[in-house]
Amino acid sequence: MDYVPEKLHSQSATTLTIVAATIGLIITLLTQRLKSTSASVKGNDLVLQNLPPVIPHSVPFLGHAVAFGQDPINFLKTAYDKYGPVFSFTMVGSTFTYLVGSDASALFFNSKNEDLNAEDVYSRLTTPVFGKGVAYDVPNQLFLEQKKIFKTGLNIARFRTHVSLIEDETREYFKAWGHKGERDIFEALSELIILTASRCLHGSEVRDLFTESSKISELYKDLDGGFNQLAWLLPGWLPFPSFLKRDRARLEMEKMFRKVISARRASEPKDDMLQTLIDSTYKNGSHLTDQEIVGMLIGLLMAGQHTSSTTSAWLGFFISRHKHVQEALYEEQKLVCGEAFPPLAYDQLKDMTLLERCIKETLRLRPPLMTVMRMVRSPQTVLGYTIPPGHQICVSPSVNHTLNSTWGESAEEFDPDRFLGVSATTISEKFAYLPFGAGRHRCIGEFFAYVQIKVIWSVLVRTFEFELADGYFPPVNYQTMIHTPTDPVIRYRRRV
């Protein structure tokens, strides 16, 4: 445990204090939940007998929250070794049941949303950020229609134009990095990807807002601050500073976006995502309201930003630790694009097969969403166990991505070549590799994410040589919802 930085301890202590201080409030919720759970299984002893094994704990109410919070992956792997593929434990009054390394994932990903429900677990986090009328605030049938609209907006013709937009933004952004130095690469990539994602997933008007006023960057930060574990664990009506900031920021941002939408409605159509949202209709023929378009724009930005920026940052650290891979990537750029490095073209991206495998391998070892979850609404049977309503059922890509039984003894090693000659479908069919989820809730942003990350790293590999600063490879920061690198400073030198 000596690698755990001080900060982590003090942060968990703070979280602990806050959580403890609000126990009184949540205990009410807990009792209600316990009551409803026991009511639903009463009179059915069979169900009770078949409950999954429970990890015992001695801390009332909080349960395993602290151990889990400090290193969830290790916690889950240890539990898996001890209890097998299905086990339950309590945290802050809720019961979580994990399915690990079993054939149980089929149950998870093939189930109906009425049985294993996403809104019940995600809405409290997303609705205050996106606003009402979209994503987990609406019945899943409607969200599926909204996802279909996103998919129409993310087509190959658009990707072709995205490539040069992203290339230009990346060059421009990294001009400020000078000849050599040590810098926070995660911060840089986060800032850059706000620009590229807003440019590609919204349109030029929203992108320009990020240059014109620093206000919108501040708003984005405040809104984003709403995506934290407190918002996950505590009731939303509590007057926490981060909640208040989030709510103010969303209202402000909504105002700015509404202006952009009205201006666009009144002017010539363009060929971008905003236009798709304005022009599309639901199955019944109605257009999306401005409120819904605002929510979808915010949702797209959030979904496209964090996932890609953490993946890009981790990739940088992996190829700095494995310098030969970085050099091979540089050679690949020359081979695919020509030594003079003319502007990138979409058709070149598919030939960057090593870069593709590096992204894939980064997503294996550091999948941005470490757990996907659902609320059990009707009893579920898996491997002879019955999981009752009220449990939050979880699958952790992070854990499954590093099981020796699937990936061999080198499961924890960064080795992009492990994907050579293995077709993506063979891996995903077994649900062994799930960075983008599966089934009805599957990600619609995979192709865009690959385009974005490939273009950014093509530019970076051509422009800089990276290395670990004094050998420092960041440990995972488990305090953030998406597992980011801790103190992500990297050393770089510009290639002539």
Ligand X SMILES: *[C@@H]1O[C@H](CO)[C@@H](O)[C@H](O)[C@H]1NC(C)=O
Task: Point out which residues bind ligand HEM (CB under 6 A).
Answer: 118, 147, 150, 201, 300, 303-304, 307-308, 311, 363, 367-369, 372, 435-437, 441, 443-445, 448-449
Q: Does 291 bind ligand X (CB under 6 A)?
A: no
Which of 55, 67, 99, 277 is in the footprint of ligand X by CB under 6 A?
Answer: 99
Alpha-helix residue ranges (DSSP H) falling in 234-342 = 241-266, 273-279, 290-321, 323-337
Least Å distance between CB 471 and ligand HEM? 27
Least Å distance between CB 74 and ligand X? 11
Closest CA to 384 of 50, 47, 46: 50
Q: Does 418 bind ligand X (CB under 6 A)?
A: no
> What's the N-to-C CA distance of the chain in angstroms?
42
Q: Does 187 bind ligand X (CB under 6 A)?
A: no
| CA 119 – CA 482 distance, rounded (Å) | 19
| CA 172 – CA 188 distance, rounded (Å) | 12
Query: What tokens appear for 46 in the block?
Result: 């069979």
Asked if 455 contacts 427 with a C-beta cutoff of 8 angstroms, the reply is no
Work out whether the CA dihedral 127, 119, 124, 199 comes out positive or negative. Answer: negative
**Binds 286: which of ligand X, ligand HEM, none (CB < 5-8 Å by kind):** ligand X
**Binds 400: which of ligand HEM, ligand X, none (CB < 5-8 Å by kind):** ligand X
Exposed (0-12), middle (13-18) or buried (19+): which is 11, by Cβ within 10 Å? middle
Nearer to ligand X, 86 or 206 (CB): 86
Nearer to ligand HEM, 349 or 363 (CB): 363
**Binds 435: which of ligand X, ligand HEM, none (CB < 5-8 Å by kind):** ligand HEM
Task: Characterize the bridge pairing of strands 372-376 and 392-395.
Answer: antiparallel
Which residues make Cβ contacts (< 8 Å) with residue 413, sequence separation at least 6? none
Asked if 146 contacts 296 with a C-beta cutoff of 8 angstroms, the reply is yes
Which of 204, 353, 404, 426 is in the footprint of ligand X by CB under 6 A?
Answer: 404
Q: Point out the residue whose Cβ comes nearest to ligand HEM.
A: 445
**Binds 355: which of ligand HEM, ligand X, none (CB < 5-8 Å by kind):** none
Least Å distance between CB 123 and ligand X? 17
Asked if 274 contacts 298 with a C-beta cutoff of 8 angstroms, the reply is no
Nearer to ligand HEM, 19 or 167 (CB): 167
Q: Does 103 bind ligand X (CB under 6 A)?
A: yes
Which of 49, 214, 267, 284 is in the footprint of ligand X by CB under 6 A?
Answer: 284
Which residues make Cβ contacts (< 8 Å) with residue 11, sequence separation at least 6? 479
Nearer to ligand HEM, 4 or 443 (CB): 443
Which of 61, 83, 177, 282 is in the footprint of ligand X by CB under 6 A?
Answer: 282
Footprint on this chain of ligand X (rule: CB under 6 A): 99-105, 142, 282, 284, 286, 395, 400, 404, 406, 409, 411, 430-432, 434
